[in-house]
Chain A
Amino acid sequence: MKILVVEDQKRLANLVKQGLTERAYTVTTVSTCAQARDTVCEDKFDLIILDLGLPDGDGLDLLREWRRSGFKEPVLILSARDAVQDRIKGLDFGADDYLPKPFSLEELLARVRSQLRRQSDVKETVLECRGIRLDLLHHTAQVHGQQIDLTRREFALLEIFMQSPGRILTRTYISEKIWASHFEVDTNLLDVYMSRLRAKLETNPDKPLFKTIRGVGYQLL
């Protein structure tokens, strides 16, 4: 999988590149609109990560230009502008996702994965791992064959963990998936739900299912 990172902040670009390379993606970084334009013409990428504030122009204009010329690959916008208007504008211009700064690498990876997965979209109706079986059609959950009752929110929460077992999911990512907003991050709502989910799923206290990563998020082990 080849990814183009358009980011003028060299150190940030390198950190992102390093994080992505460690996950076996092939990464090219450029720092201006002009370079991005040339690189896209020369090579084919599966995904583009685009910063909006570039030294020689606005990333949004570049995006619009690409979409007009029939460029279809997913584009993920990185931006310090986190106003809802900017977000909507970005999506209107043809972005596939919008990640506000400061972001966590895990969050970026989660979004990259979800964009690349979307391309080869196979929607599973039953998720199974770590002895948990989640039937998305009938909304039932079983732990080691034992039926357990989950509320709507708990079910949704478990579902996003089951979709990427072993991955660290950030608080912002979870909040946006479940509540479609990130204001819940400011409360301990997510932690409360996590502790309820743990109480229902973790039968053996010596073998925890979830790991808390303070300041970042949670991980289904």
Chain B
Amino acid sequence: MRSISARLAVWYALAATLTLACLFVVGYQLLQTHLINGLDLLNSAEFEQIKAHLGDDYMTQSKRVIDERIRETTEFSSVLFYIEIAVPKRGTIFASRNLQTLSIPDIPGQHRYDAEIPKIGELRVAEFVLPSLDITIATPLNPVREVMEGYVEVCAWLLAAMLGASVLIGFGLSRLALRPIRLMREAANRIRSDNLSERIPVMQVQDEVSDLARLLNQMFDRLESAFNQVRNFTAEASHELKTPLTLVRLQAEKLLVGGTLSAPNEEAVQMQLEELARVNQIIDEMLFLSRAEARAITLQSKHNDPERFLKSFSLDARVLAEHGGQHFLALHEGAGSVSFDENRIRQVLLNLLANALAVSPPGGQVTVRSRLNTTEWQVTVEDQGPGLPADQHLRIFNRFVRVNPRDTDGSGSGLGLAICQSIILLHHGYIVAENGAEGRGLKVVFTIPVTPAATTATLGDSRQESR
């Protein structure tokens, strides 16, 4: 069972019902003993009555007189009692009429016992002794049996009711007991990189749950401080690096604008400026990666139509391809919207395009295929270059890995694909490289899930459009 409260409720209900069942069994035994004792008392009372009617002189009276005396008293109670009187060695001298020709079975050595007589049923038997007479009195056990049956029936109903009630009570109690845990879960769920300072509310009382909350909060404290360290480090590193970079840059520009430089010197300063821009780009990329790793990047995601987005990208992609005497083709299928950060995905596509153009031969073609279905948006960037051996397909997403043969002039930082990967991961998607069809060229494929929220937004959007 998945929920603790359901499990607790079931355990509680079973325990409560079992306890009650045990009590009912004990009660059954006690009640039965009590009722049978009652029957024994009745039998003794009947014996006392018989003894009184027999009188003190019964020893000297004839069998007929004794018979008469007993019958006088027993006729009234003949419905209730079965009576048999015997004289040792001479046999039965009296049997009540309701016994007809039957006799009460005798269990030697016992004075109070249950016996069964055919046609009459179960009886409770008591044996009494008057000098020279054995008096056996029996009374039907039937009423006792009936009471016990009624008792069992009532108990069965009570047990069923108890089971139902205890499931409900157990569920309610466990929910009540687990409420602090539920609150903790909700709070812990809310805590993300952008609100790390939030904490789980701790109850005033000191119990296991509040201990757990305190423990979790301590963990969040450590997490937050580690997180802040990363955040501060990147902020400080960028500050420490970028302020001097600005100074160098402004100085170089000043030389250039002054116009007093000789041509070779001017060229050198211009190269300096270009290199500065590269240094800055590398710093930005490294900072981006370390922030992405620390989950300190928040995407500016919006619902966008991939087709419109791709159209806008193709505008620039075609210009870039044509510049190098190459071709660019964009294909899209599927309608709808996906939640993504337009600028970041554009950055990914520009990066993949630049790589693809760099390896494609003159006159070659770079193809971007985009496919949108109800669950995901998949984009493939395919080039006509030499492709890559399969063991490189994973490696190219590592940092500072260069595989493009034309990239040896060092124009790239080797961080491009690592950044693409971290952007796609931030979108909860994945990116892979594989060989193109017929083993020629390289295909880089990224996939972004279409969130459920995006589909509802699509419905809303299309409704607005149709108005």
Contact = CB atoms under 8 A, between A and B. Distances in A.
B317 to A, nearest CB: 9
Interface string A196-209: 10000000000000
Interface string A175-205: 0000111011111110011011000000000
Contact of B245 (A101, A179, A183): A101
A216 B270 CA distance: 8
Given A83-B291, A192-B320, A192-B323, A214 B270 contact: yes
Interface residues of B, number: 45
Contacts of A118: none
B298 interface: yes
B319 A196 contact: yes
Nearest to A81: B235
A12 B320 contact: no
Contacts of A85: 297-298
Contacts of B253: 104-106, 216
A153 B276 CA distance: 27
Interface stretch (B30-38, B127-135, B346-354, B394-402): B346-354
Contacts of B274: 214-215
B135 to A, nearest CB: 106
Contacts of B296: 83
A15 B235 CA distance: 24
A215 B350 contact: no
A53 B239 contact: yes
Given A15-B251, A214-B274, A181 B347 contact: yes
B272 interface: yes
A102 B246 contact: yes
A153 B318 CA distance: 12
B261 to A, nearest CB: 13
Interface residues of A, number: 43
Contacts of A193: 319
B246 A81 contact: no
Which of A102, A180, A181, A187 gathers most chain B CB within 10 Å? A102
A80 B243 contact: yes
B103 interface: no
A101 B273 contact: no
A15 B250 CA distance: 7
Contacts of A106: 253
A9 B246 CA distance: 11
A215 B250 contact: no
Given A84-B300, A193-B319, A184 B350 contact: yes
B304 to A, nearest CB: 13
Interface string A100-120: 111111100000000000000
A188 B300 CA distance: 25
A136 B243 CA distance: 39
Contacts of A215: 252, 270-274, 276-277
A152 interface: yes
Contacts of A88: 300
A198 B277 CA distance: 24
B281 interface: yes
A102 B249 contact: yes
Contacts of A216: 253, 256, 273
A40 interface: no
Contacts of A214: 270-271, 273-274
Contact of A102 (B280, B291, B319, B350): B280
Nearest to A7: B243
B462 interface: no
Contacts of B287: 82-83
B22 interface: no
A7 B253 CA distance: 20
A183 B277 contact: no
B280 A189 contact: no
Contacts of A185: 277, 281
B238 A80 contact: yes
A187 B354 contact: yes
A127 interface: no
A183 B353 CA distance: 13
B284 interface: yes
A186 B280 CA distance: 11
B350 A183 contact: yes
A189 B274 CA distance: 16
Contacts of A84: 298, 300
B247 interface: yes
Given A80-B243, A188-B320, A196-B319, A102 B276 contact: yes
A184 B319 CA distance: 13
B343 A180 contact: yes
Given A80-B243, A152-B315, A183-B350, A12 B300 contact: no
A104 to B, nearest CB: 6
B207 interface: no
A129 interface: no
B316 interface: yes
Interface of A: 9, 11-12, 15-16, 19, 53, 80-85, 88, 100-106, 151-153, 171, 179-181, 183-189, 192-193, 195-196, 213-216
Interface of B: 235, 238-239, 241-243, 245-254, 256-257, 270-274, 276-277, 280-281, 284, 287, 291, 296-298, 300, 315-316, 319-320, 323, 343, 346-347, 350-351, 354
Given A16-B250, A214-B273, 11 more contacts: A11-B247, A12-B246, A12-B250, A84-B298, A101-B246, A102-B280, A104-B253, A106-B253, A180-B343, A186-B354, A215-B271
20 contacts: A12-B247, A80-B235, A80-B242, A83-B296, A84-B300, A100-B242, A102-B245, A102-B276, A179-B316, A179-B346, A181-B347, A183-B343, A183-B346, A183-B347, A184-B316, A184-B350, A186-B281, A192-B320, A214-B271, A215-B272
